[in-house]
Amino acid sequence: MNSKNTKHKKTGWIVKSLIIIFILSNVAIATLTVVYFRARSELQKAYGNNYKICSFSFQNYFSIYIVIGRGSYELAVWRASDWRISQITTKDLAYFHQAPKNTIISLRWRNISQIPTVIGCIEKLSVLDLSNNKIVTVPQQINQLRELQTLDLSGNQISSLCPNFYLSNIETLDLSYNKLQTLPQSLYTQKKLQYLNLQNNLFVALPDYLGKLEKLERLVLTNNNLQFLPEGFSQLSNLERLTIKDNQLQKLPINISQLQNIISINLQGNELTALPKNLSGMTKLTDLDLTENSLTSLPKDFGNLHNLRKLEICKNKLYTLPSHFGNLHSLYKADLSSNYLTTLPLEFGQLKSLYRLNLSSNELKSLPSEFGSLTNLAFLDLSSNQLQVLPLEFGNLSSLKVLHLDNNKLQFLPQTIKNLPKLSQIYLIDNNISLTEQDKIRKWLPNCEVVFD
């Protein structure tokens, strides 16, 4: 009898337990259903049909992992704990292994000390931004991202990449503001790499096989400790933009003119004392910045850079310009300030495209009469020279708008100055112009702001 009662009690307990489990399960399902449809409603309001659900988890009570966009996708998470859409964290990455092609992940400024190895599972990842963290090394798993096209690791503390670093589809790689001294040889076999930024690292030299990056179009090497460029550098046949500011370069490769597709070169803040003699091979060069070097002269064929539009060569040690300088017929803006120029070649007047010219802080005592042929010139700075007189032809500068003549030795201006119809501002501070001459100049230029002090 007792055994029957015991069995009956046990059966009752099991039935009650099953009923409770059934009820709780239904409550849980109902709750999850409400939460799910509430989340779907919010996602629909926020993104319309421009999102896809990748997976679910019970982190933070309940989380829905989504990709947002059309064509390219960003990752996000809807968390029941916050009841809203929020940014992903490194812990969320494991739930995005089914993310579609052209997925973008941004984990910048997250105080991350190492790249999550799980990131290698997101095989269709296209863009990965891990900039401005505290990452020290790049793990082997990064090579699993075979679809990756853009990788930004700038602003970290990376001292090395994995030895066989290779991303077969990488086009843009930013390693700036790290602690790199060398790169693995495998990096230079990236067949599709177009943009490489190595700014603010610790490079003293670059290997000769840099030239193997046959698709490279833009290279940034600013603020390293480079003293020379390898001879293989000239093999970068598709290079269009080169920035090597603030290094210690003393010379350029003799064969640098083989960069026949180069458009822009920035060599500001180096220690160059001379330029190679065969620059004319760079027929597409439009922008050249040689600011803050130690150049004492320019090669004779410098004028053969016929497509050059912008030239900055201030803060050097130039004493003269070659006569062929006048062959720069496309030159639109030129900054030759802070040199030691005492004269300009007669051919300077052939620069008919020149619109903005800075010759301040030189030692010019006079200008050639041919200077008046610069009829497109609108902005001219001749301040801080030794000018005592301007040529009569100065009045032919019919496009001139702003003229700086401060800190010279002028006693008067030629009367032809009144032939400048567009002149709106002229600065004559710190000259030797008498009050009588000042009145005369003001009468000649009634619609111009004339500043004497």
**pLDDT tens readout for residues 309-327:** 999 999 999 999 999 999 9
Out of 55-59, 79-83, 120-124, 191-195, the most confident range is: 191-195
Q: What average pLDDT does range 1-12 have in this prediction?
A: 54
**pLDDT tens readout for residues 355-385:** 999 999 999 999 999 999 999 999 999 999 9
β-strands 218-220, 195-197: how paired?
A: parallel
- What radius of gyration, in Å, describes the C-alpha atoms of the chain? 34
Q: What is the pLDDT of residue 453?
A: 84
For residues 7 and 214, the model is more confident at 214
Count the helix, strand and coil residues of the chain and give each as a percent rounded to the nearest 5.
Answer: 30, 15, 55
Assess whether pLDDT exceeds 60 at residue 414. Answer: yes
Q: What is the pLDDT of residue 277?
A: 85
For residues 380 and 7, the model is more confident at 380
Residue 405 token pair: 């003549």
Is 90:110 a contact under the CB 8 Å cutoff?
yes
Identify the CATH homologous superfamily for domain 51-202: Ribonuclease Inhibitor (3.80.10.10)
**pLDDT tens readout for residues 63-107:** 666 666 677 777 777 676 665 677 777 787 777 777 778 888 889
Confidence of residue 26 (pLDDT cuts 50, 70, 90): very low
Q: What is the pLDDT of residue 123?
A: 85
Domain ranges in the chain? 51-202
Q: What is the pLDDT of residue 23?
A: 47
Assess whether pLDDT exceeds 50 at residue 22. Answer: no
Assess whether pLDDT exceeds 50 at residue 51. Answer: yes
Q: What is the pLDDT of residue 296?
A: 96
Among 348, 441, 363, 351, residue whose Cα is nearest residue 403:
441
Cα dihedral across residues 113, 116, 120, 124: positive or negative: negative
**Average pLDDT of the chain, as a whole number:** 87
